[in-house]
Amino acid sequence: MVLETDRLLLRPWRVAEAAVQRELWVERDPRVPSHRRIDADGHPTVAELEQAIRAGRLSVGLLAVERKAVGDVIGYCGLIDRTRGFEEEPELAFELLRRAWGRGYATEASLAVLDWARSTGYRCVWATVWEWNAASRRVLEKLGFTEAGREQVDAVHGPSLVTTRRL
């Protein structure tokens, strides 16, 4: 699947882009659970992420976000097929490198994904966001997501908000 906006191309990951994925892992906020950050032994490595791309172990619905004017990959956006009782609909997920923050790329990429989801028959999409993640919460608000509930997590990571959007 390939989606296109004025500024972005959303497409499958290429093995050569494993370093971008690792950079995302390195940049994650320390409040993100440890299984989603680089561990004490330096895993995942670029080689491990390359192997994951080759083997198709990445979530199929998470597309690389490439800036068309520059040709560089700045993160991912897409749908994750996992359900939590929200009409068995997919979850929107996005993450961008810090150098790409504040330029509207997450909103633009997400709108393309939501348009695709609507065109394929989905009726609703949901997303979770850490309560402390103000930037991602703003993106979800711009996209029309509304809070549907709160899922408590441990004291280190804080509460996670569940949001939904009808398509």
- Cβ-proximal residues to 149 (8 Å cutoff; 6+ apart), any chain: 161, 162
Which is higher by pLDDT, 87 or 70?
Answer: 70
Bigger pLDDT: 163 vs 34: 163
The CA distance from 77 to 132, in Å, is: 20
Protein fold of 3-166: Aminopeptidase (3.40.630)
β partners of residue 94: 77
How many other C-beta atoms lie within 10 A of the C-beta of residue 72?
A: 14
Query: What pLDDT digit, counting tens, does each position of 52-82 carry?
Result: 999 887 766 899 999 999 999 999 999 997 6
Domain ranges of the chain: 3-166
Q: Dump pLDDT digits (tens) for 99-154.
A: 999 999 999 999 999 999 999 999 999 999 999 999 999 999 999 999 987 676 76
pLDDT, residue 85, reads 54
- 161 backbone dihedrals φ, ψ, rounded to 5°: -95, 140
pLDDT of residue 83: 56
Confidence of residue 33 (pLDDT cuts 50, 70, 90): confident
Residue 79: partners with Cβ closer than 8 Å, 6 or more residues away:
61, 62, 90, 91, 92, 93, 113, 117, 125
Interatomic CA distance for residues 68 and 2, integer angstroms: 13
Amino acid at 107: T
Sheet holding 146-151, edge to edge: 3-4, 8-11, 62-67, 72-80, 91-96, 124-130, 160-166, 146-151
pLDDT at 84: 56
Annotate 53-62 with b (16+ C-beta within 10 A) or e (fewer): beeeebeebb
β-bridge partners, 43: none
In sequence order, the 6+-apart residues with CB closer than 8 A to the CB of 3 are 9, 10, 11, 63, 112, 113, 116
Average pLDDT (14-39) is 92
Q: How sure is the predictor about 34, in pLDDT bands with cuts at 50, 70 and 90?
A: confident
Residue 17 and residue 157: Cα distance in Å, rounded?
29
